[in-house]
Structure 1
């Protein structure tokens, strides 16, 4: 009798397992950010300002490569776009607490960040450049020449630029700022010898202030970093959609075209000045 009861319970459990699995799958689908975005007809994008990734325009809105990417992504999802400007130092915590659905902000993919968020496939690559003050840096033209205790370097806090400065220039004095504009002012005011930032910010500033600033590495970057969308963990449907969107927009040439516009020309300058 006991054996028969055990067999009966086993059969009941086995027959119910597919129903439980199906229910769990449906719950995951319904809880997906992708489904919530479609249901609410709104994609909330967290970003921070970096030239030319995202910048304030003349009208008080935002423009830049990342803004175009966000707009195209929302358009392809057939939903409204809500831009959520956020301090870079707190952008991952803001994502995790649900302030927005995705980070589209020139975020480099790193192991430390990947422990907290999931990244899409890279949709672009970036690299670090050095911008130097002619008066304070003198004739320095290599990384090694900037890697000395008497050299003061500035960078933006919480960025891969700051991490690159710590890794490649460990002997130099490093000061960090919330905004690249603040770091640039230190350079222009002769309070720092060099700035480390993602390409092409240093290149644009060297052109703008060529009598005071220069590019020690002759425009070359000293790192190569994959850039990806960041989303909350446990959302395979949203990640799948984003990866396929990236593949499509690489294949049709849209990502390359827009990158070239924002990073190899200054035709957009009139939008922000």
Structure 2
């Protein structure tokens, strides 16, 4: 009986040792797999800045049509203040620039799905957008202004008067102009348009009392078409709207680089040169489609 117990104990010890050796072997075999997974995870966490430098291309998402930030010229090229800014950005990175022209309502989803590396499209920094993306420090400050139709030019002298049921107000779909019109003028009738020039033409043609949109876009439209048509321009902005470059969340390295780039360009003369080119003159307008 004692021999059987001893034999059973020896057998149990051997089985335990065999199981331990098998477990160790399996862990060793699995180790390279775990290491590969960790490497892939680290690569996924790599900063967009690293990816841009490695690929040699900076992809920028924008919607052409917002003067003078991004527009299409008569040759079919996208030009403007934002384009010149990101051109300098690409030069500073030592990479090529690729412009990805996309519809405004899909511009943030495009960034989130990695169709481009950042958005530079006159985008206002606000809390709603900031829930989805991160913004670099503002590169310019604008605000909402109002163009008043000729029919109401004498009647409307202050933007606060627009909050009246007898007025129809227009702006562009999905913009802060639309948000401001709905928030500040809830009593008025609001009409939305796909493009800002369509919204402005509605007021120009007397089909709306006013159009609400960003300065300087309203300033350009007024100078080119509205002034001669008898429109009134309420040119003092009634909202505070900083514009910023948008990037994906969780990328402090890229955010740091963009903020430092902005400080540099604003202090070495490049920013002023680009600003004066697009906001200090309208000579570029003759080359726009």
Residue 205 of structure 2 corresponds to 189
184-193 or 120-129, larger mean C-alpha shift: 184-193
Paired residues of 2:150 and 2:204 also in contact (CA < 8 A): no
Q: 1:127-165 CA distances to partner (integer Å, 9 max, x unpaired)?
A: 111011102454211112211011111111111111111
CA displacement at 1:232 relative to structure 2: 0.4
Cα distance in 2 between the residues matched to 1:167 and 1:215: 22
The corresponding residue for 1:142 is 158
Structure 1's unaligned 5+ residue stretches are 1-19
Q: Which runs of structure 2 are paired with 1:37-52 in the superposition (5 Å)?
A: 37-48=52-63, 49-52=65-68
User: What is the rounded CA distance, in whole Å, between the counterparts of 1:224 and 1:266 in structure 2?
Assistant: 24
Question: Which sits farther off after the overlay, 161-170 or 182-191?
Answer: 182-191
Is this contact kept in 2: 1:162–1:176, CA < 8 A?
yes
Aligned residues: 250
Contact 1:88–1:178 (CA under 8 A) maintained in structure 2: no
Is there any run of 5+ residues in structure 2 with no aligned partner, and where?
Answer: 1-34
Match of 2:284 in 1: 268
SS of aligned partner of 1:38? helix
- Quick one: distance in 2 between partners of 1:64 and 1:255? 13
Is the 8 Å Cα contact of residues 118 and 232 (structure 1) preserved in structure 2? yes
Task: Pick the structure with greater CA Rg.
Answer: 2
Change (3 A) 1:161 1:213: farther
| Cα pair 2:136 2:246 within 8 Å, conserved | yes
Offset of residue 205 of structure 1: 1.4
Q: CA RMSD in A?
A: 2.0
Instruction: Name the CA shift for 1:260/1:171 in 2 (closer, same or farther; >3 Å).
Output: farther
Q: Tell whether the 8 Å contact from 1:128 to 1:198 is kept in structure 2 after alignment.
A: yes
1:44 and 1:157 mapped to 2: Cα distance? 25
Distance, in Å, in 1 between the alignment partners of 2:251 and 2:100 is 21
Shift of 1:213: 4.6
The partner residue of 2:229 within 208, 212, 224 is 212
TM-score, normalised relative to structure 1: 0.86
Distance (whole Å) between structure 2 residues aligned to residue 32 and residue 231 of structure 1: 11
Aligned position for 1:128: 144
Structure 1 residues 131 and 213 mapped into 2: Cα distance closer, same or farther (>3 Å)? farther
Equivalent pair of 1:156/1:180 in contact (CA under 8 Å): yes
My pick for the range that moved more, 222-231 or 260-269, is 260-269
**What is the distance in 2 between the residues matched to 1:182 and 1:189?**
10
> Displacement of 1:216 after TM fit?
4.1
- The alpha carbon displacement at 1:253 in A equals 2.9
Secondary structure of the corresponding residue to residue 46 of structure 1:
strand
Distance 1:213 1:164, change over 3 A: farther
Which of 121, 128, 132 is matched with 1:112 structurally?
128
Q: Distance in 1 between matches of 2:53 and 2:242?
A: 28
